[in-house]
A = this chain, B = another copy of it.
């Protein structure tokens, strides 16, 4: 059993060195280190990796990191919600998201056409430009065929983008499916609806995607989950892997607590009662802000994986 070690700053410290020290500080520092180790293990042992995140993370600067992770083969399947997909497309189109404050005057922001997401802002004009660009994108894929599962639809959209920091772009170019079970829950839902008014035979097939979710992993292969935040994204990935025998590796990273019985706050322990996570799996629940904890845990893992030659840069 390791002991707590006194942390000391060193000038010009490497992130990897900082990360190692975190592991012997204790509390969530130790859990981040544990999570990082499990990520290294799931990748090294060739697991199929499911990465899930909520929309606000695509609002944040993690969006480019998710794109990079797909490029580095750290994610084989993505599950997310539609707000983040919209914003990924906006950003691929050059839109900038200003950094604001958690304690803004929200009525004043409204007057200026700024929509607040925590301490970040999305401008009305970004939504307007999105509206202008999405219709021709849909027309283009409609010309090919008229019935799409959600993941097929997102694949086609990704092919139409040109930004290496785009999640959709990288997913399409690496053939990583993006599942988004609540595809209508955003401005994009409205645009799909408007589009379908003009094209009565256009069908978004959510049930059909279930088949693809099931075939995204097999009963026999090792399955790993990196779940960031909670909600539908977290649950959907777990559902897909549960049906195929449960997870061998799991990271739950969130600010939600178990005490309200919500899915978002459910721990990796609770998951074992369902068989969502195998009883001998490598599983870590980390409680904290993903904007900080995830890049820390993942960068530490990438450094190690690159040292081992598993991840090639």
Contacts and interface: CB of A to CB of B under 8 A. Distances in A.
Given A64-B8, A299-B18, A54 B263 contact: yes
A13 interface: yes
Given A65-B7, A236-B182, A60 B25 contact: yes
A99 B260 contact: no
A51 interface: no
Contact of A61 (B1, B9, B24, B55): B24
A258 B118 contact: yes
B30 A99 contact: yes
B289 A287 contact: yes
Interface in A177-198: 181-186, 189-190, 192-193, 196
Nearest to A98: B1
Given A26-B261, A106-B270, A264-B231, A12 B196 contact: no
A8 B164 CA distance: 11
Contacts of A236: 182, 185
A209 B184 contact: yes
Interface stretch (A38-46, A216-224, A271-279): A271-279
Contact of A211 (B193, B204, B205): B193
A120 B257 contact: no
B292 A292 contact: yes
Contact of A6 (B6, B55, B65): B65
Interface stretch (A108-116, A128-136, A154-162): A108-116
24 contacts: A4-B98, A8-B68, A11-B313, A12-B14, A24-B99, A27-B56, A28-B291, A29-B60, A29-B289, A56-B261, A102-B259, A109-B273, A117-B266, A181-B185, A181-B189, A182-B185, A182-B232, A183-B206, A189-B207, A193-B207, A193-B211, A256-B264, A257-B259, A292-B293
* Closest 4 A/B residue pairs (Cβ): A6-B64, A118-B261, A25-B61, A28-B289
